[in-house]
Amino acid sequence: MNVNTKNSLKVGPAYMLRNDGEIFSAGKFHPYINYDVGYDDFIIIQDGEFSHWWQWFYEHTNNRETKESIIKCVKILYSLEMGDDVGMSLLDNYEDVYSYFGIKRNDIIQNITFDNFKKEANKLNDLINQEFIRFRVGGYMTTKKGSEDEIYFRIGSRGFNWFDLIWTLLYNNQNIINKITATKDEQSLGTAATIKIKGDLLLHYPVQDFLKLSGRPIIEKLGIRKNKRVFLRK
C-alpha cells in the first residue's frame, strides 16, 4: 500500500513509510540497524530475535547503495566471527542471515576490526534514516487506552521534507486518526527532539488543523537533548 490508499491503516502495527510514498507493515517491532547511535547498539543481539531486520531492509530499500552497505556489514560480521574479534559467539544466531546473503568462507575480510563494522553500520543507519520513517497508530507497542486515534511519527532524516507524504497519509486515513505527534527518531539517532511546524509543536496536534496547512511547510526539529537509554535488550 502507499499514502494514497484510503482507510488502509490499523491501530497497533509498526509501519515504515518510504520516501517514495510506499508503506510497509513491519509487524510488532520497527526494524532498526542501530537502536541508539550514542551507545553503538547495533543489531547483533545475542538471542538473534531481530537478525531478520538485515533482510527486511535489503528487500524493502529502493537504494542500491543501501543494499551494498548491508552486504558489506554482513560480510564484516562474518569475518569478525570467524576471527572471534566480536568477543561473543553469534554464528548460530546469524546463520540464516549468512545463508540468505550467500556468505561463505571466501568472503572473509582479513585484518578487520569491530571499528570497521561500526563505521559501515553508522553509514547504513544514515542511509536508512534518509529513506524511511517509522510510525504507528495508537502510540507504542502496547497501545494505551485513549491514544487509539493518534498517529506517532519518528523522523531520522536530514534535508528531506516529509510534509507532502504525511499530509496525504493523514488525509486518506481521517477515519481513524484525530491527532498527530512527531519526534526525531531517538533510537536511531542517539538524540531526541520535539518537532514543530510553522512554529507549533507536533504534539497531539489536531489532524484537521494539520490538513489545513498550506505552502508545503517544513517539518523541523525544535531542540535536541542528550539521549538516555530507554530500550533494554532481553
Do 175 and 217 share a domain, yes or no? yes
Last residue of a domain, one of 81, 113, 130: 130
Same domain for 162 and 52, yes or no, is no
**Same domain as 115, residue 45:** yes
Q: Are residues 155 and 222 in the same domain?
A: yes
Domain contains 75: yes
Same domain, 114 and 150: no
124 and 148 in a single domain? The answer is no
Residue 177 lies in a domain: yes
Domain boundary among 77, 100, 130: 130
Q: Are residues 118 and 140 in the same domain?
A: no
**Domain, as residue range, for 97:** 37-130
Do residue 169 and residue 117 come from a single domain? no
pLDDT average, residue stretch 206-219: 88
Residue 176 and residue 213 in one domain: yes
Say whether both 214 and 155 belong to one domain.
Answer: yes
Amino acid 180: pLDDT: 94
Burial class (CB in 10 A: 0-12, 13-18, 19+), 64: exposed
Position 210 pLDDT exceeds 50: yes
Does a structural domain hold residue 94? yes
Q: How many domains would you assign to the chain? A: 2
**What is the rounded average pLDDT of the residues 215-225?**
65
DSSP state of 22: B
**Residue at 234 is within a domain:** no
Q: What is the spatial distance between Cα 9 and Cα 24, in angstroms, rounded to a whole number?
A: 10
Share of the chain above pLDDT 70, in %: 78
In a domain, 201, yes or no: yes
The verdict on residue 4 lying in a domain is no
Q: Residues 204-213: what's their mean pLDDT?
A: 94
Cα–Cα distance measured from residue 167 to residue 175, given in angstroms and rounded to the nearest whole number: 14
Q: What is the pTM of this model?
A: 0.84
Instruction: Determine, yes or no, domain membership for 3.
Output: no
Mean pLDDT of 13-37: 87
Q: Do 156 and 125 belong together in one domain?
A: no
- Which of residues 130, 159, 187 is at a domain's end? 130
Task: Please indicate, yes or no, if residue 1 is contained in any of the structural domains.
Answer: no
- 111-161 pLDDT, tens digit per residue, is 888 888 888 988 999 999 999 999 999 865 555 566 788 999 999 998 899
**Do 176 and 110 belong together in one domain?**
no
Task: Report the range of poorest mean pLDDT among 32-46, 98-112, 202-216, 220-234.
Answer: 220-234
Q: Check: CB of residue 189 under 8 Å from CB of residue 129.
A: yes
What's the rounded mean pLDDT across residues 45-59? 70
Q: Where are the beta strands (DSSP E) in 71-219?
A: 132-137, 150-155, 179-184, 191-197, 200-201, 205-206
pLDDT digits (tens, 9 = 90+) for 147-200: 788 999 999 998 899 999 999 999 999 999 999 999 998 888 877 788 888 888
% of the chain exceeding 90 in pLDDT: 37
